Structure 1
Amino acid sequence: MTISVLICEDQEIVRTGYAMVFDAQADMSVVGEAADGPAAVEAAERLKPDVVVMDIQLPLLNGIEVTRRIAGPEATSPPKVLVVTTFNVDEYVYDALQAGASGFLLKDSSLTELVNGVRTVARGESLLSPTVTRTLIGRFADRIRPAKATPGADPLGLLAPREREVLRLIACGMSNTEIAAELAIGVETVRTYVSRILAKLNVRDRVQAVVLAYRAGFVTL
């Protein structure tokens, strides 16, 4: 299966570099490029890519709003959105998560990490680089609250030992594939653990689970 990729980035040299890297992969094909927000929305709706590599700081319409329009709750055929951000704009990460982004990498990530990031979100897995995860938690833990939390109760008390180990690795920014390799189990088994963790903690997604883990002192920055 070939992963179709749309690159949304205002700097031509960066777009060109990304396109060369992705097209060099046997399992990827760049189907389009966009240099501003409106063009990104139009291209995503017209080309229907599997993955959109999104810069947050797009002109005319920023990457968060673009993500909301193409991958938010009202999107009819949402692609996976991988946001590539710089450290000094990480305050937008939370908003992009709410808008429907599937993953985040810093712009100083290696090309290997970028390529693997596209593959990860294409498989339907969430991706947060460890640095982005820690920054997100440190800045926005007070804004992301698990639903129906019981004051005074151990929020992780319902998790089995293996589930707690998977949660710890999620908090380290690992993808399902990386967790499977670390624990020597199958990826489908990891997905099952993740689903159980979210259900037991009564949270919407991996990010909220990580926030809860940090709040409970299970993992620390």
Structure 2
Amino acid sequence: MIVDDQEMIREGLRTIIGAHPDLQVAAVAGDGLEALKLLESTAVDVVLMDIRMPGIDGVEATRRIRATRSSAQVRICVLTTFDNDENVLRALKAGADGFLSKGAGPTELTAGILDIAGGGSALSPTALSAVVTHVAEDNSVPDDPQALKLFAALTAREREVVEAIVTGLDNQQIAEAMFVSPFTVKTHANRAMSKVGARDRAQLVSMAVRAGMRP
């Protein structure tokens, strides 16, 4: 489902998503309230949610969806031009599963949707940087012994990938630096998340910072 108050944006997203063989637009809404109503009668796997809209904004719409539907039932990706620290954190705290900029190209956009649909957590570099900055500022206390213990169980390669994620690099950038494929990077990241009990990359970054991995 595409949720955006600008018709040009909605139609552009519909064209990009509709052109991908593994994606289909199930519904389109012009604001958060319309999206909530459509969800009552439409089967949707992923919601692309704008933040700034009339009526209720995307953060409040996300919060209301999460009040009745878990991430296992519907995934939410916030899509906006306003990818600053406050909006990223508000959206993630409301229950968003990912955060992509409207400036993302078609390939990054569709890859992010598929990642979220598959249980991942797409975060644009700006969004990830916001999470890192917030956690680092919020956790100026000594390292968390429990986090240190959890991350000690990672292999050297998994730890290397996590450290790169904390600096704000995406899978492609990490792959190029490590001379491996993006799929290999994603595999290491997923294994690291599983070992430390992180539900997504945002939580992985938060836990990693507490384990002393600061950018």
Q: Is TM (by shorter chain) over 0.5?
A: yes
Partner of 1:193: 192
TM-score normalised according to structure 1 size: 0.77
Output one character per residue of 1:20-74: Cα deviation in whole Å (capped at 9) or x when no partner.
Answer: 111111111111111111101111232121111110112111111111222x264
Determine whether 1:208 maps to 2:203.
yes
Output one character per residue of 1:140-199: Cα deviation in whole Å (capped at 9) or x when no partner.
Answer: 544589xx9349x687444332331231243335369x87x6476496665333210x33
Deviation at 1:85, TM superposition (A): 2.1
SS at 1:104's partner residue? strand
Number of residue pairs aligned between Structure 1 and Structure 2:
207
Structure 2 unaligned segments of length 5 or more: list them: none
Matched ranges for 1:106-117 at <5 A:
106-117=101-112
Inter-partner Cα distance in structure 2 for 1:115 and 1:44 = 21
| Cα distance change on mapping 1:144 and 1:96 into 2, 3 Å | farther
Inter-partner Cα distance in structure 2 for 1:204 and 1:112 = 25
Structure 1 unaligned segments of length 5 or more: list them: 1-5
Inter-partner Cα distance in structure 2 for 1:184 and 1:205 = 17
- Which of 28, 42, 46 is residue 41 of structure 2 equivalent to? 46
Partner of 2:131: 136
Output the amino acid matched with 2:106: L
In 2, are the aligned partners of 1:84 and 1:104 still within 8 Å (CA)? yes
Inter-partner Cα distance in structure 2 for 1:144 and 1:38 = 36
Between 183-192 and 206-215, the greater mean CA deviation after superposition = 183-192
Determine whether 1:75 maps to 2:69.
yes
Inter-partner Cα distance in structure 1 for 2:83 and 2:187 = 36
| Cα distance change on mapping 1:106 and 1:88 into 2, 3 Å | closer
Matched ranges for 1:1-221 at <5 A:
6-70=1-65, 72=66, 74-75=68-69, 78-87=73-82, 89-139=84-134, 141-143=136-138, 149-150=144-145, 156-171=151-166, 172=168, 174=170, 182=181, 185=184, 190-196=189-195, 198-199=196-197, 205-214=200-209, 218-220=213-215
Task: Tell me how large the CA RMSD over aligned residues is.
Answer: 3.3
In 2, are the aligned partners of 1:91 and 1:139 still within 8 Å (CA)? no
Deviation at 1:123, TM superposition (A): 0.9
Output the amino acid matched with 2:206: V
Q: Relative to total residues, which structure has the larger helix share, 1 or 2?
A: 2
TM-score normalised according to structure 2 size: 0.79
Inter-partner Cα distance in structure 2 for 1:215 and 1:189 = 20
Deviation at 1:117, TM superposition (A): 0.9
Inter-partner Cα distance in structure 1 for 2:122 and 2:108 = 11
| Cα distance change on mapping 1:207 and 1:25 into 2, 3 Å | same
| Cα distance change on mapping 1:170 and 1:186 into 2, 3 Å | closer
Q: Relative to total residues, which structure has the larger strand share, 1 or 2?
A: 1
Deviation at 1:97, TM superposition (A): 1.1
Deviation at 1:81, TM superposition (A): 0.8
In 1, are the aligned partners of 2:81 and 2:102 still within 8 Å (CA)? yes
Output the amino acid matched with 2:165: I
Inter-partner Cα distance in structure 1 for 2:101 and 2:208 = 23
